[in-house]
Structure 1
């Protein structure tokens, strides 16, 4: 069976590599990595005589989207390009220099370990021989007829037994000491071998199947050329990492940025030219499409929920609106649409194993610092900083955002997307000394009378804010009142004092009060709401 398989492989190789075919080896030389996906560039240099040839590459990962492959050729005229995923001839899978070196180190240490173990065994044999001599001497001392010996002969024998016993015990003790020292050295060698084996295992092998790419070419004469292949893969991406530092005294925010890079393409990227891009080609690439809105009347029993339709990857509902460290650091390039970061040093990323952290330039901006209180949800106010991004920088959404206040870590939470030049409001943790209370003073619900036969609900809430920090704070207090979308539901409300803003950040019914709260001061806000509706209806 093995002979048949070998013969079939040789036939495939012969069929694929004819006299005009030139086997070529390529490597990944550059990659532009997006938050999801990457455009990979690989290069191959070749030599060819004059005439028509086909360059044969068998080292593309099998999962390469072959329909996205684009080829350029230097030094010759490009012909047709064909690809193949199955029935690919075997390729040279020679191990890299790093793997060969690591494997040689493991073999050296294994041989040294065998030699040391043999040495320990030899030393133990010396100790066993000394113990055998001791047993023999003990046997002489208890032998029958020894008492019948002449005194002179008996004295000489006793002296001989003493000397031999002492020498044997010394030999046994010396062999044991040398054996123990050798075993300690053996333990050190075993630990060194374990580390060498781990180092070998850490060199991620490239064992995935490969695809074939054949490029037809015409050479006018002997030449040395270069083949460049580009394609886009989904098995790569980068995630932004942000450390946000707020200086209260300087009233500035410094955003230290980095990126976590990963790839699972089936091959290791070694010393490539890396560019990170904020473009997101995997997401919706064109604007949503609006379809005609044609309301129709019908009987109540015929009313059904309006269908949801999917338009170009965006879920839409009819008649509703859509919702610096000293290190190698990437250089930003802004083209008006997105930002690219070209990393200055070669980068290596093992497939499916490495999570490489890279540094990006930091951003600084002035900060408008204040406190925000939401008594409906919280017991304390939170320190907020409002900043505006420079016009050539964007912030990508990430859970890897860590916040620092005057050099102290205050927490990690989600950071949302912010476009270039946009304003961001950032939270730097609770202000424990600004306490909040929201007390429901009255709540009533019932009929207002037999004539109108209507129902109502009334509520009076008192909000109490107290500053125990020892310093004055500019404070924004948020609360809400109900909003009616039905004519039959009547809602009125009253606030003392009046709010400074109604519809805070375009959120209906959200009220905002802004004032400076001095150290030791307390402020109260009273909010009254009244809702009434026809009898027979239920308020939800």
Structure 2
């Protein structure tokens, strides 16, 4: 028996000697890489471990952490055995009134005792009220008297019943009234006590006398092994959701300089549960939550259908796209006076945040390293981070599409945007210090030139006229031939020369039985696929230009054609 006890004691000693040493270390966020969706958090910490296997614990990390993304690097010659993410649930603390003034503690205790007794009194009153109400109900439901005796006897019995009913109901009503008054008084006392108790408890809470939050604590647990006691440093990184950035642009153009200033900004937000305090940010165009697997094409088998459906011609829309991205707004800002001051008026200009940004081109994304500290709370509010500020060479031209709008639009044409690593986003437009409106900048389009519309110019007059007299129609065999003629007039009423691009179109046939021929183009650039006509003109002050074009449509006379 003694041997058995010795063996059990030996096993117990061995078990506790092999228990893992735990060390909870403090860590700080040093860097954050913000993706279009999500963010990569970089933490630093110092540790001390004993000989053997130990667990280093980092607390208060984000609960939105992706456990698969955890990466750990360490110094000090330790071996990293395991890394995991877990939620720790601490034992709830008992509520204590220690530290409160004596009078406050006594008041809380008295109020709690009084509320307990007053609730007993209210329950007793309610019980009596229930009994009286039940008695009234019995009397009310059994007030009729039925008898088989003489008439005189029945009348006498009825009179006695009514007298009894009246006396008893009055007694019950008096008792009920008294009880309800007592109940109302007690209820007011109870509500007043409850309000006073709530205020005292709020006082207790405001003086930090409530127990610490016993909610779950997110942890990163790193299991390490050391042959000797060692100290070192940890670099831990992980991916979190509930964060990201939204691109935003400001485009400021000045026709006098022939340039467009591009402000590239990132609206950074996060609600990860971690405060990014005085950290270095990196803005990345990558999205780690986006699909990274290449699509695969499988064999495409076709066969005859078991029945024939009706044929429907593809829907078409006449697209007079001019490449102009424009959204005009009837609003302007009085910025001219502010922007009129030149840097020569000051001894030195203020340094802008974009001068602390370094762009790094990755294989499949771009990163902008911000060499300035930022503090971003976990409240999902947007914080503006300036990525770059560039002056771009612009070519200013006028565009007009008189078929759609008899106005001339000033357009700044900007090229070579690919080197800026822009992403599609909204852009606010400013022209000569005034706010023009908003557009959508899409650098991913195949067109290498951005056409930035700056609004209408009322000093350029555009007219488009359908010349009915020159319209002809004749029948040739089984076909009808119609000729259409239009006249476009553009007049420059400005005091300067202008370059203007005029666009129009002729219809395009989908049916091979319809034949469309351009008869007169006035030397336009013609796209036979889209039917687009384009003239590039230069007009001096007060000069006008007339452009006439015509086309012929030939179609079956037995069919209707909608033009």
If the TM-score is normalised by the length of the shorter chain, which range does it land in? 0.5 to 0.7
Residues 250/487 of structure 1: CA separation in 2 closer, same or farther (3 Å cut): same
Helix, strand or coil for the counterpart of 2:264? strand
> Following the alignment from structure 1 to structure 2, what is the Cα–Cα distance between the partners of residues 280 and 389?
25
1:225-240 to structure 2, matched below 5 A, reads 225-240=232-247
Indicate the residue corresponding to 1:436 in structure 2: 462
Q: Does the Cα contact within 8 Å between 1:236 and 1:265 map onto a contact in 2?
A: yes
Helix, strand or coil for the counterpart of 2:517? strand
Residues 24/474 of structure 1: CA separation in 2 closer, same or farther (3 Å cut): same
Please report how far the alpha carbon of residue 511 of structure 1 lies from its aligned counterpart in structure 2 after TM superposition.
Answer: 2.0
Residue 404 of structure 1, aligned match among 408, 425, 430:
430
Please report how far the alpha carbon of residue 434 of structure 1 lies from its aligned counterpart in structure 2 after TM superposition.
Answer: 1.5
Segment drifting more, 207-216 vs 477-486: 207-216
Residues 218/340 of structure 1: CA separation in 2 closer, same or farther (3 Å cut): same
Indicate the residue corresponding to 2:518 in structure 1: 493
Q: Does the Cα contact within 8 Å between 1:443 and 1:459 map onto a contact in 2?
A: no
Q: Deviations over 1:430-474 (max 9, x none)?
A: 22211323333349999965951x567654333222222222101
Indicate the residue corresponding to 2:269 in structure 1: 262
Tell me the C-alpha RMSD between the 2 structures: 3.8
2:51 matched to 1:32? no
> Following the alignment from structure 2 to structure 1, what is the Cα–Cα distance between the partners of residues 25 and 241?
25
Residue 478 of structure 1, aligned match among 494, 497, 503:
503
> Following the alignment from structure 1 to structure 2, what is the Cα–Cα distance between the partners of residues 281 and 455?
61
Residues 272/457 of structure 1: CA separation in 2 closer, same or farther (3 Å cut): farther
Residues 291/273 of structure 1: CA separation in 2 closer, same or farther (3 Å cut): same
Q: Does the Cα contact within 8 Å between 2:89 and 2:214 map onto a contact in 1?
A: no
Please report how far the alpha carbon of residue 296 of structure 1 lies from its aligned counterpart in structure 2 after TM superposition.
Answer: 4.8
Indicate the residue corresponding to 1:248 in structure 2: 255
Q: Does the Cα contact within 8 Å between 1:80 and 1:216 map onto a contact in 2?
A: yes
Please report how far the alpha carbon of residue 259 of structure 1 lies from its aligned counterpart in structure 2 after TM superposition.
Answer: 2.0
Q: Deviations over 1:16-74 (max 9, x none)?
A: xx651222333332111122322222233222222211123342222222222222233
Helix, strand or coil for the counterpart of 2:420? coil
Residues 383/446 of structure 1: CA separation in 2 closer, same or farther (3 Å cut): closer
1:342-491 to structure 2, matched below 5 A, reads 342-389=369-416, 392-399=419-426, 401-417=427-443, 422-442=448-468, 449=475, 452=478, 454=479, 459-491=484-516
Please report how far the alpha carbon of residue 490 of structure 1 lies from its aligned counterpart in structure 2 after TM superposition.
Answer: 2.1
Q: Deviations over 1:101-123 (max 9, x none)?
A: xxxxxxxxxxxxxxxxxxxxxxx
Residue 86 of structure 2, aligned match among 59, 62, 84:
84
Q: Does the Cα contact within 8 Å between 1:22 and 1:54 map onto a contact in 2?
A: yes
Please report how far the alpha carbon of residue 363 of structure 1 lies from its aligned counterpart in structure 2 after TM superposition.
Answer: 1.6
1:182-331 to structure 2, matched below 5 A, reads 210-283=217-290, 285=292, 289-290=296-297, 296-298=303-305, 301-302=308-309, 326-329=351-354, 330-331=356-357
Q: Does the Cα contact within 8 Å between 1:74 and 1:225 map onto a contact in 2?
A: yes
> Following the alignment from structure 2 to structure 1, what is the Cα–Cα distance between the partners of residues 56 and 50?
12
Q: Does the Cα contact within 8 Å between 1:24 and 1:44 map onto a contact in 2?
A: yes
> Following the alignment from structure 2 to structure 1, what is the Cα–Cα distance between the partners of residues 290 and 475?
58
> Following the alignment from structure 1 to structure 2, what is the Cα–Cα distance between the partners of residues 435 and 403?
24
Residues 300/385 of structure 1: CA separation in 2 closer, same or farther (3 Å cut): farther
> Following the alignment from structure 2 to structure 1, what is the Cα–Cα distance between the partners of residues 399 and 293?
38
Residues 238/380 of structure 1: CA separation in 2 closer, same or farther (3 Å cut): same
Indicate the residue corresponding to 2:47 in structure 1: 46
Q: Does the Cα contact within 8 Å between 2:472 and 2:484 map onto a contact in 1?
A: no
> Following the alignment from structure 2 to structure 1, what is the Cα–Cα distance between the partners of residues 215 and 473?
75
Helix, strand or coil for the counterpart of 1:345? strand
Segment drifting more, 285-294 vs 22-31: 285-294
Helix, strand or coil for the counterpart of 2:511? coil
Please report how far the alpha carbon of residue 287 of structure 1 lies from its aligned counterpart in structure 2 after TM superposition.
Answer: 5.6
Q: Does the Cα contact within 8 Å between 2:402 and 2:463 map onto a contact in 1?
A: yes
Structure 1 unaligned spans of 5+: 1-14, 93-205, 306-323
Helix, strand or coil for the counterpart of 1:469? coil
> Following the alignment from structure 2 to structure 1, what is the Cα–Cα distance between the partners of residues 71 and 24?
19
2:535 matched to 1:526? no
Residues 449/247 of structure 1: CA separation in 2 closer, same or farther (3 Å cut): closer
Aligned residues: 389
> Following the alignment from structure 1 to structure 2, what is the Cα–Cα distance between the partners of residues 450 and 520?
46
Q: Deviations over 1:155-183 (max 9, x none)?
A: xxxxxxxxxxxxxxxxxxxxxxxxxxxxx
TM-score by length of 2: 0.60
Residues 449/274 of structure 1: CA separation in 2 closer, same or farther (3 Å cut): same
> Following the alignment from structure 1 to structure 2, what is the Cα–Cα distance between the partners of residues 340 and 288?
26
Q: Does the Cα contact within 8 Å between 1:368 and 1:386 map onto a contact in 2?
A: yes
Q: Does the Cα contact within 8 Å between 2:475 and 2:481 map onto a contact in 1?
A: no
Please report how far the alpha carbon of residue 243 of structure 1 lies from its aligned counterpart in structure 2 after TM superposition.
Answer: 2.2
Indicate the residue corresponding to 1:56 in structure 2: 57
> Following the alignment from structure 1 to structure 2, what is the Cα–Cα distance between the partners of residues 390 and 448?
53
